[in-house]
Amino acid sequence: MGLDELPDGIVVADRDGRVARFSQAAARITGMTADQVVGRVLAEALPFVDLQGRSWWACADPYHGLLTRSGHRERTLLLPGPPGGQPRETLVTARYVRSGPDREVAWVVLALRDTQARAREEISRAELVSTVAHELRSPLTSVKGFTATLLAKWDKFSDAQKLLMLSTVESDADRVTRLITELLDIARIDSHRLELHRQPVDLPVMVRRHVEGLVASGYPAERFIVEVDDPGAQLWLDSDKIDQVLSNLLDNALRHGAGTVTIRVEPDLEGVAVSVTDQGDGIAADVAGRVFTKFWRSGRRAGTGLGLYIVRGLVEAHGGRISLSRPPSGGACLRFVVPDGIPEVLRPRHE
């Protein structure tokens, strides 16, 4: 992979302190061209100052100082802008490559990032905190209210009234548990620490079990159609996480869709596919690309907006993919594909 293929801007200076490499991303972030920078003294070509206006190079001093110093952690620095313009905020990380018995600096490598990326991350974290606070407030207020009432006036309520209030408390506690589970899933997905416990799985059986559970909970049986084109494939999946995927997709179709929900299991060139199709209004083309991102909501129903983001993460962790389409008959179709056969990590290795 070349420097121009990296998302961060990369600047490399040689042992004489002159710029030897200047990537395309660095040019975009700094507003300079390689011709303006390459061959010049690093501190002159990129005159970074800190937020107080002091020269960063006087502090960093990469070619002198302690021999054990290997660089500087990321910090926000400013580059002079065009005449009359605003300076450019840049996130800069420095690494020193030393060589020889004297451990002299052979290369200085700067990694540059646009502060807009950091701002987007901070906005995302703030939105997550806001969403969690909002979603927790309602059930916890309910739990607090009912438990306080029962403790204060237990003898004044009938058994039926007590049962109703305790059932509401249990339902709200389950809601809080689901939210916490979602947050843990997101943390594992974002940090690439999601663990899979694979075992042989029968997808048609799993689909039918989910539909039977929904019917038992009160949905009419005629609202569901299950179509199975027996894939005859061996699937090694994490059954709990695939259960979570199916539950989320079916819940999404029932809450946001309308009419009959069709679940189809069929072979695919990449493995086995499961599609969940409803007969609702569908999803507008201008927002279809955002349905698998964090905090996406249809605008018609409440929710955290995290469900489909988690679904995509769970499917991709299995080496699969998920997509959204609009059938000719209308509505929305969410379709995921998981690979068949025994994964490489589970195959026995012969000496």
- For residue 155, the tally of other CB atoms under 10 A from its CB is 4
Contacts of 309 (CB under 8 A, 6+ apart): 186, 189, 292, 293, 294, 296
Six token digits for residue 166? 């305790």
**Predicted pLDDT at 230:** 76
CATH code linked to domain 199-346: 3.30.565.10
**Predicted pLDDT at 241:** 92
| Tokens 């580059």, located at residue | 79
**Predicted pLDDT at 351:** 41
**Of 96, 39, 305, 309, whose CA–CA distance to 190 is shortest?**
309
Among left, alpha and beta (phi > 0; psi -120 to 50; other), residue 107 is: beta
Among left, alpha and beta (phi > 0; psi -120 to 50; other), residue 299 is: left
Quote the CATH superfamily of domain 3-115.
PAS domain (3.30.450.20)
Do 225 and 262 meet the contact criterion of CB atoms below 8 Å apart?
A: yes
pLDDT in tens, 236-280: 999 999 999 999 999 888 888 778 999 999 999 889 999 999 988
SS3 annotation, the chain: CCHHHCCCEEEEECCCCEEEEECHHHHHHHCCCHHHHCCCEHHHHCCCECCCCCEHHHHHCCCCCCCCCCEEEEEEEEECCCCCCCCEEEEEEEEEEEECCCCEEEEEEEEEEEHHHHHHHHHHHHHHHHHHHHHHHHHHHHHHHHHHHHHHHHHHCCHHHHHHHHHHHHHHHHHHHHHHHHHHHHHHHHCCCCCCCCEEECHHHHHHHHHHHHHHCCCCHHHEEEEECCCCCCEEECHHHHHHHHHHHHHHHHHHCCCCEEEEEEEECCEEEEEEECCCCCCCCCCHHHCCCCCCCCCCCCCCCCHHHHHHHHHHHCCCEEEEECCCCCCCEEEEEECCECCHHHCCCCC
User: What backbone phi and psi angles, to 5 degrees, belong to 146?
Assistant: -70, -40
Q: Please state the domain extents for the chain.
A: 3-115, 118-190, 199-346
Distance CA 203, CA 334 (A): 16
Domain 118-190 belongs in CATH node 2.40.50.90:
no
Burial label for 245, CB within 10 Å (0-12, 13-18, 19+), is buried
pLDDT (tens place) for every residue of the chain, 351 residues total:
577 778 788 999 999 999 999 999 898 888 888 999 999 999 899 998 888 888 888 888 888 877 778 888 888 888 887 666 678 888 899 999 988 888 888 999 999 987 766 666 666 677 777 777 777 888 888 899 999 999 999 999 999 999 999 999 998 888 888 788 888 888 888 778 888 899 999 999 999 999 999 999 889 999 999 999 876 777 899 999 999 999 999 988 888 877 899 999 999 988 999 999 998 877 777 677 778 887 676 655 555 678 888 899 999 999 999 999 888 877 889 999 999 876 655 555 544
Do 59 and 51 meet the contact criterion of CB atoms below 8 Å apart?
A: no
Six token digits for residue 290? 């955002």
